[in-house]
Amino acid sequence: MPQRAVSDAEVIILAWEAEDRVRCGASCLARRRLARGRALSLSRFKVARRLVWCLVIDDRAGADVYDFADGAAAWRAAIGWDGKGEPEGFARYRRRA
């Protein structure tokens, strides 16, 4: 199963913890290790007065970037996605070398 079910409580708890980390200078909201030496990072940007959530999967060859328009979908992917296939709810994908 590429993405496990994530409860609203999990999202709320981790989002509050992430806001504290960002206020203390962290560069991303969440980060965790995946299989085969890859890392998953969740960041939030403001573009044209809209929030865009980016889920970045870094590996030695570059990075896969998934953009989300919905913050809840981005958090669910950051918490529950195992890095195989594609995360649920993303709006746009791009490969960065």
Listed residue (33, 50, 61, 40) closest to 91, CA to CA: 50
Strands (E), 1-97: 30-33, 39-47, 50-59, 62-68, 92-96
Q: What is the pLDDT of residue 1?
A: 52
Angstrom distance (rounded) from CA 40 to CA 36:
12
pLDDT band for position 66 (cuts 50, 70, 90): very high
Angstrom distance (rounded) from CA 95 to CA 97:
7
pLDDT band for position 58 (cuts 50, 70, 90): confident
